[in-house]
Chains A and B, each alone.
Chain A
Amino acid sequence: MEALGLLLHGFAVLLTWKTLVLMMVGLVLGIFVGVLPGLGGPNGVAILLPLTFTMDPTSAIVMLSCIYWGALFGGAITSILFNIPGEAWSVATTFDGYPMAQQGRAAEALTAAFTSSFVGSLVAVLLITFLAPMISSFALKFGPPEFFAVYLLTFCSFVGLGREAKHKTVISMSLGLLLAGIGMDTVSGNLRMTFGSPELLRGINFLVAVIGLFGISEILLTMEERLALRGHAAGISLRVVLGVWKDLPKYWVTLLRSSFIGCWLGITPGGAIAASFMGYNLAKRFAKESESFGKGRIEGVFAPETAAHASGTSALLPMLALGIPGSGTAAILLGGLMVWGLNPGPLLFVEHKDFVWGLIASMYLGNVVGLVLVLTTVPIFASILRVPFAAVAPMIVVSCAIGAYAIQNAMFDIWLMLGFGVVGYVFKKIGIPLAPFTLALVLGNRAEDAFRLSMIGSGGTLKVFWSNGLVGSITTLAILLLFWPVIDNLLGRVGLTHGTRATSP
């Protein structure tokens, strides 16, 4: 119960008019940077970081973390309205969120996204509050084999649980893995596939690819099909919000499952993106009529958003306790902490109690205030869809281009984005799923490094992936998921299929 006392103390530190105003300012700024694709959380926090140098540490960090929460909320908006993920972990939100918006249910989808974000972060914050010390020691258990097992699990769940034809998923994933190999190879220290071009040294940035694959290709498709945004007749009122909330208890299994996955992957450094995909895939697997996923099902928004925010929030824990940022935005936040002489590490929780508990208290407050704030903006954002396509499309393209450029200040990235736009268009035409491609692009490098480090460490034997309970169970689960369709089929013959499905209400 020591935690509770400290938390109350944290609230006491925060509840001044000044901090509350800073909190609001931070949230609003965060939502705006979250809405611009590519500009996103990391850049937004980086731009605003120097603003806080003149404040006292607690106010500064409260404002910065509120920008972070704001960006987390904001990322969902463009995913749902325009099929353009603002942050890497919003990709899975587009799968059902965008179809919902097209059916005129934009407000419903946005409400669902914001509410589940709130639920996800709340669960994660509760976890941080009471289990912080335990969790950081769990994160220390992750060496190269464990990391590889987690990435393997993500890849396998995609192949095994995906709705699309397996060979198309594998093709898409392989192409992503291939492109992920471009640039410097950390393990050998050599350059790969750069063909002497300095532009390719950096490798292919994941967000540039995503903006092109999802955003630009969608514009191309819309231009071909109808020259209008669908879903402009969106009903917008408090009733929509209440309606979604009334249905919320029905989805408690999905929410709980996604929160769990999110927290688990969030404290595994670098797992935040994998979380949203896995949350989505598992929700699809365990739902009745899983065919309707991808066609505008509300659970398809709940699942990835809850997981993404649970992981986005719990990612702050390895950052504070171990100094390893779980996401790009967390990395910039880390830089901000250091300016204040708050060096992340095991002693931060002991030596800077005021700060740590102030931050944790700001997670609670920031999320509540943030939810209210974003819900009030739903009508504004949803009404964007009423603007004629001819006026919105150029604005989307320009903001995509700015986003792609801003990530690394490189003109080359804008061409790359346009190139990926065409690739995305072709993929959609021939029915190759985009998600496995983006997943492989973002996790490919890490998976490869983790695999090769495991091999160096073990002297080249694959047994290392079953060398202890943790890594062994993850690897086994991964392989089970990979062959899930076969296993499901076999179980079906024995008449057990309904047993697995009964776990969802």
Chain B
Amino acid sequence: MKLVRIPVKAVGAATALLLSTPAFAGWEPTKPVEIVVAAGAGGASDQMARMMQAAIQKNNLMKQPMVVSLKGGASGAEALMYMKSSEGDPNKVLIAYSLIYMLPLSAKIPFNWRELTPVSVVALDQFVLWDNSAGPKTVKEFVAAAKAASAPFKMGGTGSKREDHVLTVFLEQKTGAKFSYLPYKSGGEAATQLVGNHTEANVNNPSENLEVWRAGQVRPLCVFDRERISYTTKVTDTQSWADIPTCKEEGVDVQYLMLRAMFLPGKVTPEQQAFYVDLFHKVTQTAEYKDYMEKQALKPIFLTGKDMVQFLEEDDALNKSLMTEAGFVAK
């Protein structure tokens, strides 16, 4: 046993020596980095995490490997609690979205994003109103059909009292139509249920409906943003993302954008934070990232430091008011 032990020690010492000599950057991960996804397999967060994993590995942006860990339990609350309990651990990065504001309000999850360490906002995600390609062709016809329907007019979405549900409520308020909201487990499920005619419409992110749109099974009616999506490359035979009108153009003044942001657990050192800010900045420069943004029709953005915190505070206040107005805040 002794014979074996000596070389191990020597290797340990050598590694320690290597680590203690300050290289060009300060801190670097010494263990595989876990990228924590607060959603199920195949969803938008998972896809983004896989893209980052591949971009980092293919471009050698980090010496340690990155592993995707799916913690979509309890509608993503599992991931939030996991990050909260990993205080001081610099080998876990959360890929966050609006659930960080909404879950604590609707389900009283004891979580506050201010307890985590913000790294950067990497993208903004759009929402689009979709219906079956056999359904109404414009927002006007759609609203008229919803108002005229005798049976419940079914709107599919992901989760309850979350972004899709909030959008549905605001759509009801602005149009006066009534929807029955069906909460599914994932955006993918909401997409197939729309194709199979089990729901009348959904408010999926572009990425979640992309494939069925290309197959001509669903139709985008309008995008919930102030301006049209900027990508003009044809996605289907006839249409590009930029061809989808905004909902405001179509007479329904509802807007909502969702952040995609990276967070470290609380109480990590500024050097560790700086490493990840730099890492994800490099990720946004890769071809993989740019390609992904265009394909999924995401809005490019890169915020960090003070700008990010300011953005988060404003976004939090906005989400809180939307949730309160929709009546989704638990008492």
Contacts and interface: CB of A to CB of B under 8 A. Distances in A.
Interface string B33-59: 000000011100011001101100110
A344 B211 CA distance: 7
A191 interface: yes
Interface string B186-197: 001101110110
Contacts of B212: 345-346
B182 A456 contact: yes
A22 to B, nearest CB: 19
Interface stretch (B13-21, B121-129, B155-163, B246-254): B155-163
A331 B196 contact: no
A206 to B, nearest CB: 12
Contact of B42 (A201, A338, A409): A338
Contact of A346 (B40, B217, B330): B217
Q: Interface centre among B107, B210, B212, by most A CB within 10 Å?
A: B107
B196 A345 contact: no
B180 A331 contact: no
B240 interface: no
B93 to A, nearest CB: 15
A150 interface: no
Contacts of A19: none
A333 to B, nearest CB: 9
Interface stretch (B70-78, B274-282, B312-320): B70-78
Contacts of A343: 210-211
A288 interface: no
B106 A201 contact: no
B111 to A, nearest CB: 9
Given A53-B57, A189-B183, A335 B74 contact: no
Interface string B61-92: 00001111101011101100100010000000
B159 A453 contact: no
Contacts of A186: 75, 159-160, 183-185
B138 to A, nearest CB: 24
B54 A334 contact: no
A348 B215 CA distance: 10
B108 interface: yes
Contacts of A141: 196
Given A50-B67, A347-B215, A456-B152, A203 B73 contact: yes
A53 B151 contact: no
B154 interface: yes
A190 interface: yes
Contacts of A325: 41-42
A183 interface: yes
A343 B213 CA distance: 13
A501 interface: no
A222 to B, nearest CB: 33
A409 B78 CA distance: 12
A457 B50 contact: no
Contacts of B210: 343, 345
Contact of B191 (A187, A323, A408, A409): A323
- Quick one: which of B41, B47, B106, B193 has the most chain A CB within 10 A? B41
Interface string B130-155: 00000000000000000000011010
Interface of A: 46, 50, 53, 140-144, 183-191, 198, 201-203, 322-325, 331-332, 334-335, 338-339, 343-348, 408-409, 449, 453, 456-459
